[in-house]
Structure 1
Amino acid sequence: MEKTICPWCQTEIVWDEELGPEEECPYCHNELKGYRTLTVDIGEEEEEMLNGRQSDEHDDEEAGDEDLLAWQDEGLHRLPVLHTLQKYEESGQDLLAYEEGVEKVLDSQEEVPECPHCREYMLLTGTRTVTADTFVPSVPAPLGKPVLEPPFTMNIYVCTGCFQVQHSLAEDDRLRLMHALGSGRK
Structure 2
Amino acid sequence: MEPTVCPWCQSEIVWDEEIGPEEHCPHCANELKGYRTLNIALEDEDAEKDAEVYEADYEEASDEEADDLRRIWGAEPESMSTLRTVDKYGEDHDLFAFEEAVEGILDEQEEVPECLHCREYMLFAGTQRVSGEGFQPVNAPLIQGPVLQTPYEMNVYVCPGCFQVQYNLAENDRLQMIKSFIHKKE
TM-score (norm 1): 0.62
Residue 127 of structure 2 aligns to a residue whose secondary structure is strand
Alignment of 1:120-131 (within 5 A): 120-131=120-131
Residue 136 of structure 2 aligns to a residue whose secondary structure is coil
Q: 1:86 to 1:175 in 2, by over 3 A?
A: same
Residues 8-37 of structure 1: per-residue CA shift (max 9 Å, x gap): 756535437363555556xxxx812324x2
- Match of residue 62 from structure 2: 19
Residue 181 of structure 2 aligns to a residue whose secondary structure is helix
Q: 1:8 to 1:151 in 2, by over 3 A?
A: farther
RMSD over equivalenced CA pairs, Å: 2.9
Residues 45-92 of structure 1: per-residue CA shift (max 9 Å, x gap): xxxxxxxxxxxxxxxxxxxxxxxxxxxxxxxxx9983421221013x1
Q: 1:96 to 1:182 in 2, by over 3 A?
A: same
- Match of residue 140 from structure 1: 140
How far the C-alpha of 1:132 sits from its partner, in A, is 1.9
How far the C-alpha of 1:183 sits from its partner, in A, is 3.1
Q: 1:82 to 1:157 in 2, by over 3 A?
A: closer
- Percent of aligned pairs sharing the same letter: 40
Q: Aligned partners of 2:98, 2:80: CA distance in 1, in Å?
A: 24
Question: Alignment length, in residue pairs?
Answer: 137
1:32 aligned onto 2:33:
no
- Match of residue 166 from structure 1: 166
Residues 157-183 of structure 1: per-residue CA shift (max 9 Å, x gap): 000100000111000111111222233
Please, which moves more after superposition, 140-149 or 15-24?
15-24
Q: Which runs of 5+ in 1 are unaligned?
A: 39-77
Q: 1:175 to 1:80 in 2, by over 3 A?
A: closer
Q: 1:138 to 1:95 in 2, by over 3 A?
A: same
1:149 aligned onto 2:149:
yes
TM-score (norm 2): 0.62
Please, which moves more after superposition, 104-113 or 141-150?
141-150
- Match of residue 82 from structure 2: 81
- Match of residue 181 from structure 1: 181
Residue 90 of structure 2 aligns to a residue whose secondary structure is helix
Larger Rg: 1
Q: Aligned partners of 1:23, 1:8: CA distance in 2, in Å?
A: 21
